[in-house]
Amino acid sequence: MRVGFIGLGSQGGPMARRIAEGGFETTLWARRPASLEPYAHTPAKTAATPAELAAASDLVCLCVVGDDDVREVLNGDNGVLAGLAEGGIVAIHSTVHPDTCRDIAEMAGAQGVSVIDAPVSGGGPAVEEGTLLVMVGGDEEVVERCRPVFATYADPIVHLGPLGAGQSTKILNNLLFSANLGSAVSTLELGESLSIARDKLVEVLNRGSATSKAVGSISMFGGTLEGLAPIAGALLQKDVRHAASLASAASAPEGAVFTAADAALAAMEYGR
């Protein structure tokens, strides 16, 4: 399978490298030429446009930031769908609303192109270790065709159901992560009110039964969200908004998890 990859950031870049070094014919595209420089000594080729990349690919993987970015690289005269042949596949690794994936699938299906959603969790270090988590939604046969490519950087690869199921699951994952951040910050603030030093309390929380990835992240930044906010604030804001949209569509109450998540967003000055 020939693979095209768009989105060479801190998450996507290592994924693309693992695919290329895993023996798959790989083509890369980026808006900025400088983003392609780190791959000059890999087996990967480069393309001048997303359409040119797609014409050289059977599977196009997208790991751009959000919904609008996905639409932008897919559409238009130079977009992926302008170059991808019938029978091609688009895998959306970006975390976007499930409805975005369904809209894209309807448009792509008109030209015989399949779409799966495959958001990821774990970060660059997990990619390097081959242990990235991939949450997949879409037709089972299409998912299985893509599995060997994903396996170059991921374990486990979990097929969750029809198109959109992967995104819904990733959004819930990020909602709970945000809630954990909010609960952790609230606990640290309460500790200070009880004259427990923040740095000592965060050390205990990080080593005790109350630990979580959120506590670990706060610990890395000195017990506050100030350092995390520029990195994750806008992304978590987007995902909590998507989660609220899903809850509303399902007529489900938001509940305590949203209260805690909103506390984290407010602490990072990215209120919903």
CATH number at residue 11: 3.40.50.720
Task: Convert the pLDDT of each residue in 133-165 to its tens digit.
Answer: 999 999 999 999 999 999 999 999 999 999 999
Domain co-membership, 25 together with 154: yes
Tokens of 13: 């870049």
Q: How many domains does the chain have?
A: 2
Say yes or no to pLDDT of 222 above 90: no
Domain co-membership, 81 together with 55: yes
Domain co-membership, 141 together with 262: no
In which band, very low, low, confident or very high, does the pLDDT at 212 lie, cut at 50, 70 and 90?
very high
Which of 162, 187, 216 corresponds to the end of one domain?
Answer: 162
Distances in Å between the Cα of 16 and the Cα atoms of 62, 104, 175 are: 10, 22, 27
The domain containing residue 235 runs over which residues? Answer: 168-267
In 3-state terms, what secondary structure has residue 155? strand
Catalytic residue IDs:
170
Tokens of 172: 């819930």
Distances in Å between the Cα of 7 and the Cα atoms of 37, 105, 144, 185, 247 are: 14, 20, 23, 32, 29
Task: Convert the pLDDT of each residue in 41-64 to its tens digit.
Answer: 999 999 999 999 999 999 999 999
Residue 115 CA from chain centroid, whole number: 16
Domain co-membership, 134 together with 251: no
Domain co-membership, 107 together with 185: no
Domain co-membership, 64 together with 94: yes
Q: Is 272 a domain residue?
A: no
CA 30 to CA 48: how far, in whole Å? Answer: 8
Q: Is 185 a domain residue?
A: yes
Q: What is the reported pTM?
A: 0.95
Q: Is 38 a domain residue?
A: yes
